[in-house]
Amino acid sequence: MANKESVKKFYFTRPYKVIACILVVTVFVTMVLQSATMVAISRSDNRFEAAVNYLVDNTEYVNKDTPQRVIDYLGTLGSEQTIADYYTLASMQIARGEYDKALVNIEKCLSLYNNEDHGLYVDLLMKRGCLQVMLGQYDAALKSLDKALKEAPAEADIYLVKAQIYAQRENMEALTECLRSYLKLKPDDTAVRALLAQTQLIQGDYQAGAEQYAAIKDAGTDAQTEYLFGLNAVKHSDFAAAEEALTRAITKDDSFDGIYYYRGVSRMSLGNYSGAIEDLTVSIEREDMLQASYYTRGLCFFMTEQYAEGLADINSAAQRNDDPEVTKLVEQLIAELQAAQSVDLPDTEDMEQVDQPQPAPVVPAETNTTTESTDSTQ
């Protein structure tokens, strides 16, 4: 038989045990609700991620605070019968990044659609298309988006999501057309105009890309657009425009491959040999396009009558074979210098008497179409 002390201890500790149990259950429920209502999706600054951006911007659940999301979640338990129920479920699944499950519920919404709310119908088609993009179902996504476009031809975001698909598939012609169609509806979107300029430049349409670039450069363009335009300007011997664009790019982000080399080429071609030497020195220090940088800086040294330095650079270029085109140019220059002076490199005696050839900067046959900056350590 229990004594008074044990009975007293039982009744004294029981409330605490009950409270502790309640707290454990509360914590467990809270954790479950937090997990169920978690938002794992976020907006991207990349305009070529239009699908996820549409889902974020047009899924009200994503932008609600946690208590309201909990209320929405609890309201769906045991339901799943109406368009509203399936739509809410899909919204929560989109927020959690469960795109496959969300797509199933969006399809259920479409199957229950009763022609009453045209705006809802377009949104459902758009969400289906965006979810299909997120799942890599591009053919199905294009069908959904084209159907949405038929219902809402003035909905600019549809063109942007289609552009994302064509960018993924590297269909540059279709991508260009989508971006143009988008800009007809939203002509002041400089970010998308910059994408159009980049796309046209990558396609080799320098004139069209230059026109788009000119329309937005004063409004402030990103370093990537400046860099890509600068490279194309070098390729088309538009050196003044190239120097300006590459200078703009360098002030924003100088990590793009060859950026100092190409500005150095532009400056050399404009007769600014000292400026070119500075850029090419940076390029060499960064071990970026080394052979071409040595060769081009050597030409600049020759043009400024710094013959010993020029010969040293040409000799350094001759010891490398990074680019067959550059190697050929180096060999030709060495042969011409030896024929003119009948001396063996790197002997620098009497170099002031050499009739130096005009600089022939190395310009790539094909412009680098990389659209991401790198660490310039090639």
Q: How do residues 20-46 score in pLDDT, each as one tens digit?
A: 443 443 333 333 334 444 444 566 666
Residue 42: predicted pLDDT: 61
- Which one of 1.25.40, 3.30.450, 1.10.10, 3.30.310 gives the CATH number of domain 254-378? 1.25.40
**Residue predicted with more confidence, 350 or 337:** 337
Please determine whether the domains at 21-187 and 254-378 fall in the same fold group of CATH: yes
Give the separation between CA 276 and CA 296, rounded to whole angstroms.
9
Is residue 293 over pLDDT 70? yes
Mean pLDDT (the chain, rounded): 79
Question: For residue 312, which of 287, 284, 339 has the smallest C-alpha distance?
Answer: 284
Is residue 80 over pLDDT 90? no
Q: Which of 134-148, 239-253, 255-269, 347-361 has the lowest mean pLDDT?
A: 347-361
Please name the amino acid found at residue 14. R
Is residue 47 over pLDDT 70? no
Residue 156: predicted pLDDT: 93
Rounded-to-10 torsion of CA 84, 88, 94, 96: -160
Question: Which one of 64-78, 261-275, 329-343, 344-358 scores highest in mean pLDDT?
Answer: 261-275
Q: Which of 19-23, 113-117, 164-168 has the lowest mean pLDDT?
A: 19-23
Is residue 271 over pLDDT 50? yes
Is residue 234 over pLDDT 70? yes
Q: Spelled out in words, what is the top-level CATH class assigned to the domain 21-187?
A: mainly alpha
Question: Which one of 1-5, 81-85, 175-179, 372-376 scores highest in mean pLDDT?
Answer: 175-179
Share of the chain above pLDDT 70, in %: 72
Share of the chain above pLDDT 90, in %: 51
**Residue predicted with more confidence, 226 or 2:** 226
Residue 375: predicted pLDDT: 41
Q: Which of 64-73, 94-103, 190-199, 253-262 has the lowest mean pLDDT?
A: 64-73
> What are the extents of the domains in the chain?
21-187, 254-378
**Residue predicted with more confidence, 11 or 146:** 146
Give the separation between CA 130 and CA 153, rounded to whole angstroms.
17
* 297-315 per-position pLDDT tens digit: 999 999 999 999 999 999 9
Q: Which residues, other chains included, contact 203 with Cβ-Cβ below 8 Å and sequence gap of 6+?
A: 172, 173, 176
Please name the amino acid found at residue 208. A
Residue 246 · residue 230 · CB < 8 Å: yes
Enclosing H/E stretch for 278? helix 273-285
Is residue 15 over pLDDT 90? no
Can you read off the two tokens belonging to residue 5?
A: 């002390």
Sign, Cα dihedral of 64, 111, 107, 143: negative
- Helical packing angle, 259-269 and 290-303, nearest 10°: 20
Is residue 95 over pLDDT 90? no
Residue 346: predicted pLDDT: 52
Can you read off the two tokens belonging to residue 281?
A: 């020195």
Residue 49: predicted pLDDT: 79
For the chain, the farthest-separated pair of C-alpha atoms sits apart, in whole angstroms, at: 121
Is residue 78 over pLDDT 50? yes
